[in-house]
Chains A and B, each alone.
Chain A
Amino acid sequence: MRKADAICALIVLAIGILVLYEAARLGIFGWSTSGPEPGMYIFLLGMGVTVGSLVVLGQVFVRSRKGEPDKPFIRLGGLKPVLYVSVPAAAMVLLTEFVGLYIAAGLYLAVYMRWIGKHKWITVAAVSILLPLVSYFIFDRIFLIPLPKGRFEDLLTF
């Protein structure tokens, strides 16, 4: 947990420095025709984040010096189910770019239910076909919100 805490603080620190750099580019001090220089506001934010992340780093350091007991960031055996969810989800998004959200989601549902859930094929087929279909009618037809359809754009829009 401490290691993760430190890594997270370092990422935040990097963001803070990035923001400070941007603020410097836009101008921090001084007065322009429209009030304070445009970099002033984000300079304050960047400063706060930078200082804050340094304090968090300091706290982590003090705690590890004191040798306080530490918990693991991810429970033993907890990483696998998270990857099982997130990797197919990312694959679904990637697939959406090509075949659209409905088909990608159908495949995602089917793969997850069959592979992780070990459901019967009939359940798998029913859910992974019906859910995207129902969503299509709700969003695309009733509320007229076009969801991405990738290459099937022409096929599905009338």
Chain B
Amino acid sequence: MEAVYNLLIGLQTALSPFNLAVLVAGLFVGTFVGVLPGLGGANGVAILIPVTFRLPPTSAVILLAAIYWGALFGGVITSVLFNIPGEPWSVATCFDGYPMAKKGKACEALTTAFCSHFFGAMVATLILTFAAPIVAEFTLMFGPPETFAVMMLTFSAFVALGGKSAVKTVVATLLGFIMAAVGIDIVTGRLRLTFGSTELMGGFSFIVAVIGLFGLGEVFMTVEEGLKLEGVSVRMGVRTIFQTMAQLPRFWRTYIRGALIGCWMGIKPGGATPASFMSYGFAKQFARNPEEFGKGTMEGVVAPEVAAHAAGVSATLPMITLGFPGSPTMAVILGGLMMWGLQPGPMLFKENPEFVWGLIGSIWVANAIGVVMVLSFVPFFASILRAPFSILMPSIVFVCAIGAYAVNNRMIDIWYMILFGFVGMAFKKLDYPIAPMVLALVLGDMAESAMRQSLVMSQGSPLIFFNRPIAGIVNGLAVLFFFWPLVTALRDRIRKKLRAPVKA
């Protein structure tokens, strides 16, 4: 019951006039950013971090979180109306959302998607509200070896779950860690990897990296592919919206299944994308009309949306309890937390309860307001994408440059941004995943100090990562995840060999 009490305090914080205004502004900016090509949630949050230094931390995190939720809504609009998935987990939404829109049921498709989005987020928030304090209590027992172990698990999960090439995932992650290490050695204070250059002494800012990799990289990719936006126009009728809503309870099985898959997968990093595909796959398997899937059935919109957004919200759980972000956007928010002088992790619950509960409360409020807002402003947001690309594109580059400069007021950061833009484009084409690289850049210092402190505790023996019960289990899992691609490759080869004689 303590959670309910705390939640009420959180809701009160989130509903204070100032925070409510911040939240609505964030949602609006977020949806805007989510619709624009080249500006996703991670990027929007990164650009606005310098602005948040003028706000109290609770309002600041509400603003950033609201941008994130807004960007998720914006991604739905582009997937359904333009067949452009704003984020990887919106891909499955395009399968049925776009065909529905083409059939002239754009309003139905959007209403279905937004409501599913809302339901998924609500279930995840409910679980978050009650699970977070328990997990936080548990993680208070963590020492440096356990912290390091959870980090290893986080990055191994990327190797196991995502990406086409396991080796390239590892390389991208390590490059992120190397960039984080540039500058001053956190323990001895000696300069490292600066090679005598004063510009490198300041290190690389993850915000600049995010803006370059996600923002400019995306812009370059878009112009190279010669983007042609062929959107379906939409008219939102109040009656159609309510009629659609009335049909949704029929899919209650898909809703519950999707929400549970989403919550479970979302706790792991990079979980939203597999969650959306899993949920879609299950829905198709259990449906009475599987042949309708992919041609524009409502259930095909419900399944991935519920799971993706349940996962998106439950990614908050590891972030506020452990200090580990589940998605690139969360990583950027986490970086912001550290810049405001807050130490993410279980102590946050003890030391800044109004901050944590304000954030949780704001998720409730943001999703409720968000659904109403996007439903009423869809035509406006869709019209942004119809603006000529030759106006949008330079404006996006300009906004990115502002964001990159404002982090540290350094000119060199704008140059880095352009460099990162090219790196982002090359990496995307060559299948180097960007998300774990950004995560490593944000978590680099934390991982390093956890590792070095552990080694000091054990006087140099790496066994400390395996002979403590929690660290041992988590690290064991990490090792398993790390070699998972190898295991599956071996299994497939053995299966092939076993089958071969039968065929012959």
Contacts and interface: CB of A to CB of B under 8 A. Distances in A.
Nearest to B398: A105
Nearest to A146: B409
B167 interface: yes
A147 B51 contact: no
Interface string B405-431: 110010100110010011001100110
B393 interface: yes
A17 to B, nearest CB: 12
Contacts of A108: 394, 397-398
A117 B411 contact: no
B502 interface: no
Contact of A8 (B193, B219, B409, B430): B430
Contacts, number: 171
A67 interface: no
Given A143-B54, A145-B406, A56 B168 contact: yes
A147 B401 CA distance: 10
Interface stretch (B293-301, B370-378, B450-458): B450-458
A35 B455 contact: yes
Contact of B415 (A15, A74, A93, A132): A93
User: Chain B: interface secondary structure?
Assistant: helix
Interface in A19-68: 19, 22, 26, 31-32, 34-36, 38-39, 41-42, 45-46, 48-49, 52-53, 55-56, 59
Given A85-B397, A113-B390, A59 B167 contact: yes
Contacts of B426: 4, 8
A2 B190 CA distance: 40
Contacts of A1: 429-430
A37 to B, nearest CB: 9
Interface in A136-151: 139, 143-148
B175 to A, nearest CB: 6
Q: Which of B187, B394, B448 has the most CB of A within 10 A?
A: B394
Contacts of B398: 92, 105, 108-109, 131-132, 135
Contact of A5 (B193, B389, B430): B430
Contact of B456 (A4, A35, A56, A116): A35
Contact of B187 (A38, A42, A84): A38
Given A8-B432, A31-B460, A117-B390, 16 more contacts: A12-B175, A26-B190, A35-B187, A36-B452, A75-B224, A75-B226, A82-B223, A85-B220, A89-B397, A112-B393, A113-B390, A116-B390, A119-B390, A145-B51, A148-B405, A148-B409
Interface of A: 1, 4-5, 8, 12, 15, 18-19, 22, 26, 31-32, 34-36, 38-39, 41-42, 45-46, 48-49, 52-53, 55-56, 59, 73-75, 77-79, 81-82, 84-86, 88-90, 92-93, 96-97, 101, 105, 108-109, 112-113, 116-119, 123, 127, 131-132, 135, 139, 143-148
Interface of B: 50-51, 54, 165, 167-168, 170-171, 174-175, 177-178, 181, 185, 187-188, 190, 192-193, 195, 216, 219-220, 223-226, 388-391, 393-395, 397-399, 401-402, 405-406, 409, 411, 414-415, 418, 421-422, 425-426, 429-430, 432, 448, 451-453, 455-456, 460
